[in-house]
Amino acid sequence: MQPTSSMKEEFLKKWQMGLQIYRPLIDNTSVSERRKAIKLSADVAMASLRKGTTCWSRALIQKTATEDNFLVRQMLSGIKAETLINKKLPKVMCHRKIVRRSKMILRRRQSRSAIEEVAAKARKLIKKKTQGLRNVVPGGEFMSNDVLLIQETLDYIVSLQTQVNVMRSIVDAAEAGSER
Amino acid sequence: MDLSGRFGARSGDGVPFREATALESLHLGGGGEEFRQMVPPENAGGFTALLELPPTQAVELLHSSSSSASQATTLHSLGTLSFPSNPLLMERASRFSVIATENQQNGNVSGETTTTSSVPSNEHIKTEPAETETCDQAAVEKQSNRCGKRKELDKKVKSSTKKKSKSSEENEKLPYVHVRARRGQATDSHSLAERARREKINARMKLLQELVPGCDKIQGTALVLDEIINHVQSLQRQVEMLSMRLASVNPRIDFNLDTILASENGSLMDGSFSGATMQLAWPLQVMETEQSYHHRQLQQPPSQQWPFDGLNQPVWGREENQDHGNDHNNLMVGSASLHPNQVKMEL
């Protein structure tokens, strides 16, 4: 599925709004400063498209709020900014060593058949992958169940695709313009 | 599949959706908003595949505008079979119908479709009218009962909403979950809930496989997850690279381009940029660097009302060939104003 044109439009508008905030600081002479400004405003624009309905968008906004609180407040309008920034998402944390040790103890007591072992290994592998996915998707640690995780990943991928498409077209335009 | 139409938009743009089929007859006319028909496959199996959709529709409904949510209640009363004009939704609907028909041909998923059809019937998405869905589901179940392919236990287990409201993205609460157990499967509530959950996960994994290029061929969840992780990471890296490139191209170019392009609306986003737009865009930045205040005042409101007119293309072409110096600043301002009009003409 491809991102729709209206999504791209909205993203562009919001991104531009975010960049306008940086406009007074137009003498960001260093490339890294500008890059950060571009990336942050693009991220917030992307996340604000979802209006706080998805977990990843909230986590992403919170993450950028730690880097540039002012930008986030300006870009999001009204009450939503406060709630999104200040709200702490419930963290699902487990001390992995302890969990692992207790699982090993449990496993010793269980009877092992060949089929079970294979299935258990497959399950472990899948758990590792889902953990990897949680690391990649913003706010993944907060998603307690797999269903939610996959749904968020879906949405996140679509939004990322939008972002990449819009940014790429702008960059191509800019570079084509600068070649003249 | 790239569907035309707007995501969550309600404008009557008149773009025909390709998937409007048999269910058009059921469309009794909506309320103030326009709705398009979902892709309704002809066979029952396809429709159950449609019903299989609602887990993913939950995602869509989260993103559809609040107006659609308010419309949903009126929809119930009207009893119209209407669906939000989400291209996302219809994309997935069509995809699921394709998947379902394929699966049906394989003949191994008939039980699954009924179970999933019963599950979504209770994770009832707001914009789906209950009446048509349940009567269709009843029809489906009758058909599935008639065909002797599967032997099913005629046991309907009613479990509480707790199990169904596990996933936090579904915010509708329905009293009962009607789940049909297959032969030889445990029918206690735990395993049923477990099975429903697994099927939800599988449905979404299928969607993910479609989304990520090259995942359809892969067998096995672990490898698919690997691919998904790689894809997400590559997308993130691309964003970084693009922002780096944009930052290094020109100090002002990002601001100006956005201002210009925002006034172009979606038409520019759809296709590739015409060369003219590039030519039009560049002199504006040059002007910005030289006349920052003057130009900034011009560009300040994003949806720009370009007050000037009168310059035509040949003049513009002449301008860009010349050295972008200070001499033609005013002329450039005027020609910059023509930019949106010209591009609209071209596009």
ipTM exceeding cut-off 0.90 for this assembly: no
- Give the residue extent of every domain in chain B: 188-250
**Which residues in chain B touch residue A178, judged by CB atoms under 8 angstroms apart?**
249-250, 253, 282
The domain tally of chain A equals 1
- Residues B35-64 have a mean pLDDT of 46
Burial class (CB in 10 A: 0-12, 13-18, 19+), B37: buried
User: In this model, does residue B288 exceed pLDDT 80?
Assistant: no
Q: What's the gap in Å between the CA of B105 and the closest CA on chain A?
A: 24
SS3 A170: helix
CB contact under 8 A, B221 and A126: yes
**Span of B18-32, B79-93, B164-178 with lowest mean pLDDT:** B18-32
Assigned domain for A100 exists: no
Distance CA(B132)–CA(B128), nearest Å, equals: 8
**Are A119 and A39 in contact, with CB atoms under 8 Å apart?**
no
**Nearest beta carbon to residue B167 from set A7, A20, A147:** A147
| Confidence class for position A91, pLDDT limits 50, 70, 90 | low
Assigned domain for A98 exists: no
Assigned domain for A143 exists: yes
Q: Which amino acid is at B120?
A: P
**Span of B130-144, B196-210, B228-242 with lowest mean pLDDT:** B130-144
**Nearest beta carbon to residue B167 from set A2, A16, A148:** A148
Where in the sequence is the domain holding A84, given as residue range(s)? 5-93+129-179
**Are B53 and B120 in contact, with CB atoms under 8 Å apart?**
yes
Assigned domain for A120 exists: no
Q: What's the gap in Å between the CA of B215 and the closest CA on chain A?
A: 13
CA closest to B262 among chain A residues? A13
**Span of A25-29, A133-137, B164-168, B199-203 with lowest mean pLDDT:** B164-168
Q: What are phi and psi of B306, to 5 degrees?
A: -80, 110
Assigned domain for A172 exists: yes
Q: What's the gap in Å between the CA of A102 and the closest CA on chain B?
A: 24
Instruction: Give the mean pLDDT of chain A.
Output: 79
SS3 B290: helix
> B195-205 pLDDT, tens per residue?
998 899 889 88
* Chain B contact for A131 (CB, 8 A cutoff): no
CATH of domain B188-250: 4.10.280.10
Assigned domain for A81 exists: yes
> B212-234 pLDDT, tens per residue?
888 888 888 888 889 999 999 99
